[in-house]
Amino acid sequence: MEQNQNKNSFKKLLDRLQEDSWQLELLISGFAIFGLFYIVDPLMNYLISAKLNSNEMAVKFYEIALLSVYILIFNLLLHVLLRALWIGSLGLRYVSGEIEYDKLNYSEKFTKYLKKKVGSFDDYISKLENLSSLMFAISFLLIFYVAAYTIINYILNSSGDYISQISVKWIRSILSILLILFSVGAILTFIDFITQGLLKKNKWVSMIYFPFYRVFSILTLSFLYRPLVYNLQDNKFGRRISLLLFPVYFIIFLTTTMHYQTSNILPLWSVNNSGNNIATSANYEDITKDNDKLFIKYFAIQSKIITDPYIKVIIPLRKYIEDPLMEFNPDLKPKEDIRGYYSAFQLTIQNRKFNEHIKVNIDSLASLYLNTFKGIYSIKIDSIIYKTDYIITNKHDDLNIETYIGIKDLPEGKHIIEFQKRKAKDTDSLVSIAKVPFWYYKD
């Protein structure tokens, strides 16, 4: 008896909270929208940085995160608009009450049609209430969906890379079979998700799918949000809204990746890299300093217009720059590739391993590194190759290779500085990596 009373009391509490939940919904939506708009630019910067560093896993993560943010912004803005319309409708109902079709003095045909299609004003308010609450629930349910997709995607990619590195054939074969089964389970789970539980309805299909369902319910963390999903699916209106949102999200994805083409002669992609007659802002240090969205791709100089008797060259130390160094000089190649993300604790262990491995002074290693760099890469201004010394600099967690070249004897006007690389170890022929135009005028 006491247990039933507690249940009834709790149900009354939930009913009362449900009636007042719209206030909390609007408050949370407002704060979330404000925060989401501020997080777009940092995420975009991280994505660009990951692409430049050839960090494929980070690129996928930030792409998914950005898409999720755009979808959440759309959902929450729509929720706020619907709630505002709902509040406005409540105010109008207080002033005007129900819709009195007879007072409109329309013809009988129109009156019958409007009564059937528009219905009562209370029904309209009720639909707005349901739609607003569903949009709010779906918005935050999306976070779990994205987390589930990210986890499965990471497992598939990392497992494939790990299996390809195993030398023992029979172990690789067993793990490959397990990976295929895992991929099948991921596909079945996705189909079941898209069709809103279709694989659970047939007796024999559900028996095959059940083991996969048990495994993936843990991997996708669905045990945390499963009640929300099934509560949404057992509601006809909720199912319709869920199905309608998928094409809407696809449209959002297309619109966020659109660019406006300003020239009929020069495509947008053709001016993203500097050349003899193209100057990209990211290749000039003074411009990148004032713009957090610009990252140096291949190399940069201090300014587009130079009045100093020297030119400063900055080369970001990316994977595509360092890999050839290890190919040309095996002494630089470590036993284990330690590039990537590490916690402070892991970094301490990695540094200890690194110091034990090289057993040389770090400055001597840097000298070997830069000498190898000089043997592979070169800098040319107009038609002259400049021999120069380099240093390694760091800004936060980014490493750069820098040099300064004297240009006081250079004639005034436009010039082209070019970053080049040796084609192969056994040849002196050079290939161009990037060109940057600049103007030199003596101060």
Q: Is the pLDDT of residue 309 over 70?
A: yes
Is residue 213 in a domain?
no
Least confident of 29-38, 117-126, 329-338: 329-338
Residues 28 and 145 placed together within one structural domain of the fold:
yes
User: Rounded to the nearest 5°, which phi and psi values hold at 405?
Assistant: -120, 125
pLDDT band at 439 (very low <50, low <70, confident <90, very high): very high
Same domain, yes or no: 15 and 151: yes
Which of left, alpha, beta for 389 (phi over 0: left; psi -120 to 50: alpha)? beta
For 19, 21, 281, 428, the CA distances from 6, given in Å and listed in that order, are 20, 22, 67, 85
- Say yes or no to pLDDT of 410 above 60: yes
What's the chain's average pLDDT? 77
Q: Quote the percentage of the chain above a pLDDT of 90.
A: 2
Give the integer Cα–Cα distance in Å for 256 and 63.
11
Is residue 265 pLDDT above 70, yes or no? no
Boundaries of domain holding 409: 274-440
For 51-104, how does the pLDDT look when each residue is reduced to its tens digit (9 = 90+)?
Answer: 777 777 777 778 888 878 888 888 888 888 888 888 888 888 777 778 787 777
The answer to whether position 194 is within a domain reads no
Q: Check whether 23 has a pLDDT greater than 60.
A: yes
Same domain, 236 and 307: no
CB 194 within 8 A of CB 163: no
Residue 197 domain flag:
no
In percent, how much of the chain has pLDDT > 70?
79
Instruction: Say yes or no: 408 and 335 in one domain.
Output: yes
Q: Are residues 229 and 341 in the same domain?
A: no
Across 353-371, average pLDDT: 67
Selection from 398, 395, 377 nearest residue 386 by Cα? 377
Contact 416, 381 (CB under 8 A): yes
Residues 239, 302 share a domain: no
Whole-number Å distance between alpha carbons of 239 and 15: 23
| pLDDT computed for residue 334 by the predictor | 73
Angle at 290 between CA 285 and CA 294, to 5 degrees: 65
299: in domain: yes
Same domain, 76 and 44: yes
Query: Same domain, yes or no, for 161 and 73?
Result: yes
Q: In what order do the strands lie in the sheet with 305-306?
A: 305-306, 430-440, 413-422, 377-381, 384-386
Round to whole Å and give the CA distance between 185 and 189: 6
Residue 356: band (very low, low, confident or very high) from pLDDT cuts 50, 70, 90? low
Q: What is the pLDDT of residues 93-121, one digit of tens each?
A: 777 778 787 777 888 888 888 888 887 88
Measured in whole angstroms, the distance separating CA 328 from the mean position of its chain's CA atoms is 34
Q: Is the pLDDT of residue 380 over 80?
A: yes
pLDDT category at 351 given cuts 50, 70, 90 is low
Residue 418 belongs to a domain:
yes
Within a domain: 278: yes
**Claim to verify: residue 143 and residue 279 sit in the same structural domain:** no
Nearest to residue 67, comparing CAs of 145, 152, 131? 145
Do residues 302 and 250 share a domain?
no
Whether 191 is covered by a domain: the verdict is: no
Most confident by average pLDDT, 13-27, 164-178, 370-384, 422-436: 370-384
pLDDT score, position 122? 80
Q: Are residues 295 and 425 in the same domain?
A: yes
Count of structural domains, the chain? 2
Q: Are residues 334 and 420 in the same domain?
A: yes
The answer to whether residue 214 sits within a structural domain is no
Cα 248 to Cα 173: distance, rounded to the nearest angstrom: 42
> What is the pLDDT, as a whole number, of residue 404?
92
